[in-house]
Homo-oligomer: A and B are copies of this chain.
Amino acid sequence: MNAHDLSTTLVPSDLYLEIQQFYALQLKILDRGDGEQWARTFTEDGVFQAADMPDPLVGREILVKAIERQSARHEGLVLRHWSGQLTVERIDDDTVRAQSYVMVYVTPDRTLLSGEVHFRHHTLCEDELVRANGTWLVRKRFVETDGEYK
């Protein structure tokens, strides 16, 4: 992805901030465990692929189920995703490629003493985003966890 070379033209402020706000919103929805709304941040035929998954998840219905399974595993934990180091490459007026770093933290909830924050993992997130109805949607996401067996 050439967007990560300095030779690349920086994208305009409005575009950069639309994408930055998109990630802030999308990851908070994920942290709330709201699978239905999270799936609606993807296109109808949106694709989610992680480096360690044998097959990609395709389509909103399957994405909802993936979040429901994840939420069950996170019972008793506060989940927090942070997006940063965003770089954006404009493909055309309605399509961008975006690369971001994502940190994932969990903290045990409902304890008598303050829970210790656990840095679960750090990932690299590469998205193809498309503009639709005044917002942006993920058409294709590829996530790679640092240090994972490849």
Contact = CB atoms under 8 A, between A and B. Distances in A.
A117 B146 contact: yes
Nearest to A52: B114
A4 B78 CA distance: 17
Contact of A148 (B29, B114, B147): B114
Contacts of A145: 114
- Interface residues of A: mostly helix, strand, loop or mixed? mixed
B109 A146 contact: yes
A105 interface: yes
A112 interface: yes
Interface of A: 4-6, 8-11, 13-14, 16-18, 20-22, 24-29, 37, 40-41, 78, 80-87, 99, 101, 103, 105, 107-117, 119, 121-122, 134-135, 145-150
Given A4-B29, A10-B17, A24-B84, 20 more contacts: A5-B25, A8-B25, A9-B134, A10-B21, A10-B22, A11-B21, A13-B14, A16-B20, A25-B87, A28-B87, A28-B99, A78-B122, A78-B147, A81-B85, A82-B84, A84-B84, A105-B122, A108-B147, A114-B121, A117-B121
